[in-house]
């Protein structure tokens, strides 16, 4: 009779161990299914892009340097090697677009900053043996020359200071500035570099947060920590204005702003980072681009993924306290939206999201950041 308590305890231990083993097996099996489904999504998308690549190595048209750069980056991040024939053609096309100025863009382009930044991301991704180091160095010098600063006669108090526009003549905005920071960082430029710190001045002023870093007239009218499109020339938000004359914050630019501040060296406890993170907690969703509905949805997804990989590598807790396995959630959302031919496309065709080459590149980049 004295052995019975021992036997019961041993039985309970065995049951617990069996339950833990089953849970581990279930988790492992789920991970394998998830990986298989992601690989299938990626492969279908790559097959689509193989079909749509032009003979000169570009996608969409022969002047679409930006789209080709994004697709090339997406392919490399999806496991295609530099030696892959499709990638080789694309890289040859991009290098062939480099101008005597160092910029990488179509000769008559009005998107010189944007195209150069995107091309640099692709070349930096492919530069594992240094073969594109010279091209990247020349492109970096070109970007520094485009940045709105003292060289353009812009005062430090101007809302345009530190930002980047589509080219040297168009006002700077958050989208182009985030790509500038992304390209410089990917090329090895340190967070404390003057170009990065000047960009941080611009980014801080694009945030709806009245602070020592943003004293522009509209800074405190919304004051929710989110971001707008540009603080230049009185400010503008693609999400419109508020009744008191403020500029409404919206999703894609808030994620872009938060990512940019981190690239420029701000830490998690900086009030600007805290405020932006709180805005994201309040507006966490994958159903839309917050503040813009379905417009710019896939741009939002790739920016969301890039930012979340910095802020919350595994899970993110929203304002209600709900924890989100954002990688799983985003992958499932993209799976539900993928077309039968492997592409993605946005019926709300704004900002070129009616182009399946562009949108498919966005989605592959988002999936890469979900790994």
> Model pTM greater than 0.85?
yes
Structure tokens at 96: 């062939």
Task: Give the C-alpha separation, 275 to 253, whole Å.
Answer: 14
> Rounded to 5 degrees, what angle do the CA atoms 217, 219, 117 make?
110
Q: How far apart are CA 351 and CA 194, in angstroms?
A: 31
Distance of CA 215 to the CA centre of its chain: 27
What is the chain's length?
A: 371
Name 207's Cβ contacts closer than 8 Å, sequence gap at least 6. Answer: 213, 214, 225, 226, 227, 257, 272, 275, 276
Does residue 27 carry a pLDDT above 60?
Answer: no
Helices (H), 78-132: 85-96, 112-125
Q: What is the pLDDT of residue 16?
A: 47
Instruction: Return the percentage of the chain with pLDDT > 90, whole number.
Output: 83
Under 8 Å CB-to-CB from 123, ≥6 apart: which residues? 91, 94, 95, 104, 132, 135, 136, 139
pLDDT digits (tens, 9 = 90+) for 336-365: 999 999 999 999 988 899 999 999 999 999
Q: Tell me how crowded residue 217 is: count the other CB atoms within 10 A of its CB.
A: 11
* Residue among 344, 339, 341 at smallest CA distance from 366: 344
What are the φ/ψ torsions at residue 227 (nearest 5 degrees)?
-120, 155
> Where are any strands of DSSP class E within the chain?
316-317, 323-324
Q: Is 58 exposed, middle or buried (0-12, 13-18, 19+ CB in 10 A)?
A: buried
How confident is the model over 173-226, as pLDDT tens digits?
999 999 999 999 999 999 999 999 999 999 999 999 999 999 999 999 999 999
pLDDT in tens, 258-310: 999 999 999 999 999 999 999 999 999 999 999 999 999 999 999 999 999 99
Question: Crossing angle for the helix pair 112-125 and 133-146, nearest 10 degrees?
Answer: 150
Structure-token pair, residue 313: 């590598």
pLDDT per residue over 55-92, tens digit each? 999 999 999 999 999 999 999 999 999 999 999 999 99
What is the distance between the alpha carbons of residues 218 and 208, in angstroms, rounded to a whole number?
Answer: 8
How far is 147 from 330, CA to CA, in rounded Å? Answer: 34
HSE-CB for 241 with a 13 A CA cutoff? 9
**pLDDT value, residue 371:** 87
| pLDDT band of 150, cuts 50, 70, 90 | confident
């Amino acid at each position: 009779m004295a052995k019975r308590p021992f036997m019961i305890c041993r039985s309970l231990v065995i049951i617990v161990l069996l339950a833990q083993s089953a849970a581990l097996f279930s988790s492992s099996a789920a991970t394998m299914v998830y990986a298989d489904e992601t690989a299938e999504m990626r492969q279908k998308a790559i097959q689509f892009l193989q079909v749509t690549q032009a003979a000169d190595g570009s996608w969409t048209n022969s002047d679409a340097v930006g789209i080709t750069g994004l697709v090339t980056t997406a392919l490399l991040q999806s496991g295609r090697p530099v030696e892959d024939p499709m990638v080789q053609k694309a890289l040859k096309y991009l290098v062939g677009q480099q101008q005597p100025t160092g910029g990488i863009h179509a000769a008559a382009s009005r998107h010189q900053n944007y195209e150069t930044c995107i091309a640099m991301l692709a070349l930096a991704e492919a530069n594992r043996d240094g073969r594109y180091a010279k091209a990247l160095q020349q492109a970096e010098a070109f970007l520094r020359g485009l940045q709105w600063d003292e060289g353009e006669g812009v005062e430090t108090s101007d809302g345009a200071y530190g930002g980047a526009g589509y080219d040297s003549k168009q006002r700077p905005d958050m989208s182009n500035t985030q790509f500038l920071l992304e390209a410089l960082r990917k090329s090895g430029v340190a967070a404390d570099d003057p170009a990065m710190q000047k960009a941080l001045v611009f980014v801080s002023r694009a945030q709806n947060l009245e602070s020592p870093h943003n004293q522009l007239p509209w800074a405190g009218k919304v004051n929710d920590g989110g971001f707008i499109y540009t603080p230049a020339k009185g400010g503008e938000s693609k999400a419109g204005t508020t009744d008191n004359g403020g500029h409404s914050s919206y999703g894609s630019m808030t994620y872009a702003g938060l990512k940019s501040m981190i690239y420029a060296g701000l830490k998690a406890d900086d009030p600007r980072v805290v405020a932006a993170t709180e805005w994201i907690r309040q507006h966490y969703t994958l159903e839309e681009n917050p503040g813009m509905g379905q417009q710019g949805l896939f741009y939002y997804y790739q920016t969301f993924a890039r930012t979340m990989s910095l802020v919350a590598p595994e899970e993110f807790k929203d304002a209600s306290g709900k924890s989100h396995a954002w990688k799983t959630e985003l992958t499932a959302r993209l799976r539900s939206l993928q077309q039968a031919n492997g592409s993605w496309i946005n019926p709300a065709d704004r900002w070129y999201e009616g182009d399946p080459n562009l949108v498919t590149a966005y989605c592959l980049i988002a999936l890469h950041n979900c790994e």
